[in-house]
Structure 1
């Protein structure tokens, strides 16, 4: 597990300006030792002040002794946060080492507030949580960043979906929400903006198989957009534009309840699709302050910014028996150890892309020094190749212990989906990043990043995207 030292509580007193928003850190009271211990039956209350009206975010660094997401029956300790007596969010603490997560506390007025921390004994086995740092910031009303936060959804936990996962509190032990973000782009109406909110779960108990996730998406987490809304030039919701991703990935009009402008949603399927009626006791109000440019970044790069998510994903895969030492390439359930993969993000464009099922995909191949084998991301299965033109993540399984210095070449391979080749051309533009997980299941440094121009056609279906010898010159 990651060896992350405890961080003493910071007590900032300055007002900062961040991305056009007024950010006001606040004082937090903690024990002299710098750790707030929250045990069963012993709530702790923190007092903090906000200098402005606005949406308040709280960064919480917490660990839970004796807890490990990798061990059945010891998956987590759930810390519930109450702001001025109002239930705000759950923090599923999955490890005995500190992890920092940011939560949205909602709109608060300037002044003094209380944050009550309670160990939710009804929904997790952990008996104690140690909070080593708390930091608050207020995004002032009237700023563009405030509008983005003011419309962010609150997501309730999965409940009653059937199969092996039934009843309340499921997300304390499986498919837990990890991080969230938003995208803010111009709408078709001048002056209007289109806001899209997405969540990352630790896995999905239904839907895409684990080997398919690794080959086509480059991770075992589940990533979905959950809510989208158009706002006008004053940041007000445009009536009739609010939609969410309903079961079977259907885009559906939102008809649920709002808290202010925050829609209340709930995870309601085994593959983490959404309903607009809520009934599970668990509540996740993750900060959506993070953002990305979907034209140049893959969604998985949100995980890169929160590297602990890789540890959680690997722990869940191992606990649920989906990791084997040498799984057959035909397996629909098993993957190799997550450390045995090269994790890549590739940018590409398909010229004259076909409709229907006759797409032409991209596979990534890796050759190692002194090894003639071409290791492929798709394992020679066309349906495991990349068939989308947004920046895309994938993985390539390599022999255990492979390091960046062992990689001789990275190759792009054109893969027709069916016997009917449409003749489409793939233009590879760049490799965003390429890394291995370390022994602690955290990403290592990327050793490839930058342009990798290549044109793949039926006559020339492969091209070298990275050559270690050339790159070393």
Structure 2
């Protein structure tokens, strides 16, 4: 059984959860002989070998950098490395930074024995301004068929890139809305002994769908996070025929009728807001690792917290694509520099359950100033529907003046927000966590807000202070 503590990448950051898959000891990892691989545009690829001692699903951990790459610079956004396993094309690796980033990819099902990995600089899909890629710290680990983790790796999908003429066309995933990281979740099915496995992906942004100011207010990020594929498995760990689905256009659940590679469904990003289809046509392919899972009572953004470079990539994409107000102004609803935002998560329950006639927003005041800053920007171009209505840990952000730090904050309040006709909803709030800012490099800084308690927001008592410095 795999045990993943990716939060170690941000050791000491209070808001970062440990992401664990519970169970037995970790699968053994095998180092690859070449610890440092340099790939150059136009040059031959590099082949290395490794040995697996047991048959199972294999994963590759590595560190990837691309000198000269800058996701925020047009024409030099990334280097793309194409990876083959035993001579078969397995995955593209989009490298968005000159600084090393820890990544993990799926190698698929492999028999025990000796295997080859070939890495090639993909000049046809790499922006012209980047000429090299460097791979280090390569390790392969295989999860054998008798390991409890094997089942969710066995059925993990392979996702192909987006190929829409209006959004960059072929190879667009090398510079926009790139799939970055992924994870799985498991839940009991209706049939006793069965379970449903659901797989989700984080993209660097979405060119369509929810507008950017609403993304920051209602979801607390500018990445796009979607479930992409789901399958029911029986008590023997086999797919229930006809049970697998995917999130199609307009977020409609569709039955999968596409192609499998072994037990891995082949799907593709097919819309401007990264919904899926089961007809694969794009030349770019991403065999992401889905071995992480989401801890209970944590928002999906916790996966980003465990991969802090995702904040950097999405912020740089926003700037490059002209989606950032410059200079930023908290008095407008337009999205400013993401380093000026307080990121946080609210856990609440609406009473009656499921009622959405009211939401909750976050108010911040700063020391020495009467100005109130709201997550929903109500009164400054926002909208009541930008408040948080879902009864799961829900992330949001509050835009503040440039240079604001945790030490500048005077109060943080929760505010009940009626949406349309006020139905008298009570909002029972139990935690506000993950309070942090991004640093100058767009990477998350240490968290400072971790409130747990019990407050009821009602029509007669619509606000509650949960932080005072």
Local SS of the residue matching 2:363:
strand
**Does the 8 Å contact 2:204/2:222 carry over to 1?**
yes
Structure 1 residue 354 displacement after superposition: 5.9
**Does the 8 Å contact 2:330/2:399 carry over to 1?**
no
Structure 2 unmatched ranges of 5 or more? 1-8, 10-20
CA deviation profile, 1:113-136 (whole Å, cap 9, x unmatched):
111001111001221101122111
Where in structure 2 are the equivalents of 1:397-408 lying within 5 Å? 397-408=399-410
CA deviation profile, 1:179-226 (whole Å, cap 9, x unmatched):
000001111211111100000000001111111111110000000000
Structure 1 residue 166 displacement after superposition: 4.2
Structure 1 residue 325 displacement after superposition: 3.2
The residue aligned with 1:72 is 74
The residue aligned with 1:437 is 438
**Does the 8 Å contact 1:454/1:465 carry over to 2?**
no
**Does the 8 Å contact 1:158/1:170 carry over to 2?**
yes
* In 2: Cα distance, 1:152 partner to 1:365 partner: 41
The answer to whether 1:145 aligns with 2:149 is: yes
Are residues 80 and 219 of structure 1, via their aligned partners in 2, closer, same or farther at CA, if it must alter by over 3 Å?
same
Higher RCO (CA < 8 A, seq sep 6+) = 2
Using the size of structure 2 for normalisation, the TM-score is: 0.91
* In 2: Cα distance, 1:383 partner to 1:329 partner: 18
* In 1: Cα distance, 2:327 partner to 2:135 partner: 39
**Does the 8 Å contact 1:21/1:140 carry over to 2?**
no
* In 1: Cα distance, 2:371 partner to 2:451 partner: 25
* In 1: Cα distance, 2:329 partner to 2:137 partner: 45
Structure 1 residue 326 displacement after superposition: 4.0
The residue aligned with 1:364 is 362
Where in structure 2 are the equivalents of 1:279-298 lying within 5 Å? 279-293=281-295, 295-298=296-299
* In 1: Cα distance, 2:22 partner to 2:121 partner: 33
* In 2: Cα distance, 1:431 partner to 1:354 partner: 20
**Does the 8 Å contact 1:25/1:50 carry over to 2?**
no
Are residues 354 and 292 of structure 1, via their aligned partners in 2, closer, same or farther at CA, if it must alter by over 3 Å?
closer
The residue aligned with 2:280 is 278
**Does the 8 Å contact 1:307/1:443 carry over to 2?**
yes
Structure 1 unmatched ranges of 5 or more? 6-16, 469-473
**Does the 8 Å contact 1:22/1:138 carry over to 2?**
no
Local SS of the residue matching 1:80:
strand
The residue aligned with 2:423 is 422
The answer to whether 1:133 aligns with 2:131 is: no
CA deviation profile, 1:259-305 (whole Å, cap 9, x unmatched):
11110000000000000010100000100001013x50100110000
The answer to whether 1:338 aligns with 2:342 is: no
Moved more, 322-331 or 209-218: 322-331
Where in structure 2 are the equivalents of 1:41-80 lying within 5 Å? 41-80=43-82
**Does the 8 Å contact 1:80/1:117 carry over to 2?**
yes
Structure 1 residue 417 displacement after superposition: 1.3
**Does the 8 Å contact 1:27/1:47 carry over to 2?**
no
The residue aligned with 1:107 is 109
Are residues 21 and 198 of structure 1, via their aligned partners in 2, closer, same or farther at CA, if it must alter by over 3 Å?
farther
Using the size of structure 1 for normalisation, the TM-score is: 0.91
The residue aligned with 1:373 is 371
* In 1: Cα distance, 2:25 partner to 2:56 partner: 10
* In 1: Cα distance, 2:86 partner to 2:22 partner: 26
Local SS of the residue matching 1:375:
strand
**Does the 8 Å contact 2:451/2:466 carry over to 1?**
no
Aligned length: 443
* In 2: Cα distance, 1:329 partner to 1:371 partner: 14
**Does the 8 Å contact 2:329/2:401 carry over to 1?**
no
**Does the 8 Å contact 1:80/1:118 carry over to 2?**
yes
Local SS of the residue matching 1:71:
coil
Where in structure 2 are the equivalents of 1:199-348 lying within 5 Å? 199-293=201-295, 295-327=296-328, 334-348=334-348
